[in-house]
């Protein structure tokens, strides 16, 4: 019996709970903290006595969900879609999500090759209105492109408007981007962004809390925003009306102690009114990627060194070592050259290069990549041993 098929295994229990509990349920999160995953899953499966803080009616609804849950099937569907389930405590789990406390995700479904933990080390959320203006779309795309060119990962929600512009801007720069969905990651939403989200999964990451096939609801979009806020070093709001859901992302970032930034717009535009409200509070005004990086790159212990921590080379995954070895020692190399030398695809090379960037081994220079000074001795030493 494999780990995923063992009913007593924590992975199996968390997949089960991801189907039964709603994302961001702090009451259920308290149960998990107080009695553990196995006890909560076992009591829901058996229809036992309700936990404190839940009505009999609500408990009955959860037990009814539990009766229909099939974690083995969810894992099978995920494997077929090349989706993995990442649990708190796993090597790929981004520790900053633990800052959410009892609202922390039970786990995350992840679609794409890169390591979520490594990419989240240098990431910025870019969010805003769905029905954005041309100005907003231009700013979001330019901002995301600039961040990608500086080696930062752009995180957004995959929606129409600002989200889509931010993702496209990062992709157009050959950079890294992550879409956090409010539905199953195997069924892109909105449908009009199927091609975009598929492209993000090929070059970057698509993640979400909801199990395969699950659908979005208005409340799920709101609670999804806390993941964007917690995952990233800071959140930039490009355009937002007074009642925009992207303001929830910014406020969650503020509660978590992350940087909150806003791009100003015309005072006559209702789509900038929410941003201006943020800027009258604790948010910082930014106008381009350089200003964002200046802010989020100087966050004390929360920010990596500009070149990132250098870890022992032998701890790298084989694929990352091949890409590192493919970089010439004395010059900048374009992506296609690195991919050919490493005998891999451009998309895989990009993913590996951003992992290496987070670890301090490489730097991005325009459209090319170059070894950092700290990495030279390690790489040369590794090659001499081959």
pLDDT digits (tens, 9 = 90+) for 183-229: 999 988 999 999 999 999 999 999 999 999 999 998 999 999 999 99
Contact call for residues 230 and 31 (beta carbons, < 8 A): no
Average pLDDT for 324-341 = 91
Contact call for residues 268 and 156 (beta carbons, < 8 A): no
Asked which of 4-18, 137-151, 329-343, 360-374 is least confident by mean pLDDT, the reply is 4-18
Q: Is the pLDDT of residue 281 over 70?
A: yes
What pLDDT score does 306 carry?
Answer: 40
Backbone angles phi, psi at 327, to 5 degrees: -80, 130
Asked which of 112-121, 141-150, 314-323 is least confident by mean pLDDT, the reply is 314-323
What pLDDT score does 312 carry?
Answer: 54
pLDDT band per the 50, 70, 90 thresholds, residue 49 = confident
The Cα 55–Cα 110 span in angstroms is 33
Sign of CA pseudo-dihedral 350, 352, 353, 355: positive
- Burial group, residue 53, by CB count within 10 angstroms (0-12, 13-18, 19+): exposed
Q: Is the pLDDT of residue 384 over 90?
A: no
Average pLDDT of every residue of the chain:
89
Average pLDDT for 325-334 = 90
pLDDT band per the 50, 70, 90 thresholds, residue 373 = confident
Q: List, in sequence order, every residue forming a beta bridge with 370; answer none if it has no partner.
A: 363
Integer CA distances (angstroms), 157 to 61, 85, 112, 179, 281, in order: 29, 19, 16, 5, 24
Average pLDDT for 342-368 = 91
Contact call for residues 263 and 238 (beta carbons, < 8 A): yes
Contact call for residues 184 and 211 (beta carbons, < 8 A): yes
Contact call for residues 256 and 99 (beta carbons, < 8 A): yes
- Burial group, residue 67, by CB count within 10 angstroms (0-12, 13-18, 19+): exposed
The Cα 259–Cα 248 span in angstroms is 14
Q: Is the pLDDT of residue 298 over 60?
A: no
């Amino acid at each position: 019996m494999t780990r995923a098929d063992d009913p007593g295994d924590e992975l199996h229990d968390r997949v089960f709970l991801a189907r039964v509990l709603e994302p961001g349920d702090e009451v259920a999160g308290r149960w998990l903290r107080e009695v553990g995953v196995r006890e909560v899953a076992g009591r829901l499966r058996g229809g036992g006595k309700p936990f404190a803080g839940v009505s009999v009616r609500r408990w009955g609804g959860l037990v009814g969900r539990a009766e229909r849950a099939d974690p083995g099937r969810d894992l099978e569907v995920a494997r077929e879609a090349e989706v993995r389930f990442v649990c708190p405590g796993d090597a790929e789990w981004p520790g900053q999500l633990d800052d959410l406390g009892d609202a922390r995700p039970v786990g995350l479904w992840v679609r794409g090759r890169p390591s979520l933990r490594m990419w989240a080390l240098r990431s910025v959320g870019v969010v805003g209105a769905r029905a954005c203006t041309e100005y907003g779309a231009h700013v979001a795309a330019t901002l995301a492109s600039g961040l990608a060119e500086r080696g930062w990962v752009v995180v957004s929600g995959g929606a129409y408007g600002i989200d889509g512009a931010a993702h496209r801007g990062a992709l157009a720069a050959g950079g890294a981007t992550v879409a956090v969905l409010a539905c199953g990651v195997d069924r892109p939403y909105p449908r009009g962004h199927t091609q975009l989200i598929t492209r993000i999964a090929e070059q970057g990451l698509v993640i979400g809390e909801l199990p395969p096939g699950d659908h979005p609801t208005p409340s799920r979009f709101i609670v999804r925003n806390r993941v964007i806020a917690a995952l990233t070093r800071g959140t930039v709001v490009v355009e937002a009306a007074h009642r925009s859901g992207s303001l929830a992302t910014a406020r969650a970032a503020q509660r978590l102690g992350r940087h909150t930034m806003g791009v100003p717009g015309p005072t006559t535009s209702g789509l900038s009114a929410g941003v201006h409200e943020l800027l009258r509070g604790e948010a910082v005004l930014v106008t381009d990627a350089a200003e964002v990086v200046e802010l989020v790159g100087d966050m004390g212990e929360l920010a990596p060194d500009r070149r990132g921590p250098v870890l022992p080379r032998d701890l790298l995954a084989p694929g990352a070592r091949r890409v590192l070895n493919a970089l010439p020692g004395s010059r900048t190399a374009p992506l296609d050259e690195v991919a050919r030398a490493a005998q891999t695809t451009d998309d895989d090379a990009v993913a590996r290069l951003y992992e290496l960037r987070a670890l301090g081994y490489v730097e991005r220079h325009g459209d090319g990549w170059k070894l950092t000074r700290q990495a030279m001795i390690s790489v040369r030493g590794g090659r001499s041993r081959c």
